[in-house]
């Protein structure tokens, strides 16, 4: 299937509306999953992560962890969505339109000191069974522990490293957007609320068109 232009892919989110709205908010889990999945299926999309810059988003699925979604760009990010916002600046400037995802708070999956890489926003863990997390080193050893007879308990083939986001804000732009050029890896959105970030983009629109 040929990818749709960004504007047409966005219009699929608003059936029956002749023009893209300036702002739209989704707070229900199913609506958030549907909207993000629809965009990824139809057009190239760049995700700007809550703690880093951008990469090409390849998939959006329901996660094994309850109430969470799985964002994939080659690696896997687990996020508990709270609010998805759509922002646009007019039909002729649709490539500047974006989606902004606010994450709800997740508790640490492992006790302090148990994850190999962790910051205030995220932690790396091994998802050995659906929604069940262990120290990431088990992926290297391929051994979860030992049974009563001293035999190693091997990991299932589905075991993988995932990055759980404890909080944060994520952006979704067209892969053709000028924002990608302006902020490939800087993470400008980090720490900005929705209105401050919209103002930042509005200024870029007025300057660059």
pLDDT tens-digit profile of 94-152? 889 999 999 999 999 987 666 566 778 999 999 999 999 999 999 999 998 888 888 99
Residue recorded with tokens 């309850």: 66
pLDDT per residue as tens digits for the range 22-74: 999 999 999 999 999 999 988 889 999 998 878 999 999 999 999 999 999 99
Neighbours of 148 (CB within 10 A): 5
- The helix (run of H) or strand (run of E) holding residue 121 is none
Which one has a higher pLDDT value, 164 or 111? 164
Separation of alpha carbons 91 and 147, rounded Å: 62
Separation of alpha carbons 9 and 209, rounded Å: 21
> What is the pLDDT at residue 64?
97
Record the tokens describing residue 115, joined without a space.
Answer: 């994850």
Separation of alpha carbons 130 and 151, rounded Å: 23
Q: What are the structural domain ranges in the chain?
A: 6-106+167-208, 122-162
The mean pLDDT value for 76-80 works out to 98
Domain covering 6-106+167-208 assigned CATH 3.40.1350 in the classification: no
pLDDT band, residue 185 (cuts 50/70/90): low
Which one has a higher pLDDT value, 3 or 47? 47
Separation of alpha carbons 123 and 131, rounded Å: 14
Cα 194 to Cα 77, 85, 117, distances in angstroms: 22, 9, 28
pTM for the whole structure: 0.90
């Amino acid at each position: 299937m040929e990818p749709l232009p960004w504007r047409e892919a966005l219009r699929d989110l608003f059936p029956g509306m002749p023009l893209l709205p300036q702002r739209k908010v989704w707070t229900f889990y199913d609506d958030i999953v549907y909207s993000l999945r629809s965009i990824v299926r139809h057009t190239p999309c760049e995700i700007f992560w809550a703690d880093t810059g951008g990469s090409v988003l390849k998939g959006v699925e329901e996660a094994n962890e309850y109430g969470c979604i799985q964002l994939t760009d080659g690696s896997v990010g687990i996020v508990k969505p709270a609010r998805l916002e759509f922002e646009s600046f007019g039909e002729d400037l649709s490539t500047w339109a974006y989606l902004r995802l606010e994450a709800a708070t997740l508790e640490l999956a492992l006790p302090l000191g148990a994850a190999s890489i962790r910051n205030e926003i995220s932690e790396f863990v091994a998802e050995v069974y659906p929604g069940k997390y262990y120290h990431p080193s088990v992926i290297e050893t391929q051994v979860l522990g030992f049974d009563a007879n001293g035999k190693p308990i091997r990991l299932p083939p589905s075991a993988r490293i995932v990055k759980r986001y404890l909080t944060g804000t994520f952006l979704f732009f067209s892969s053709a957007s000028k924002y990608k050029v302006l902020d490939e890896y800087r993470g400008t959105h980090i720490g900005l609320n929705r209105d401050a970030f919209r103002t930042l983009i509005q200024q870029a629109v007025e300057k660059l068109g």
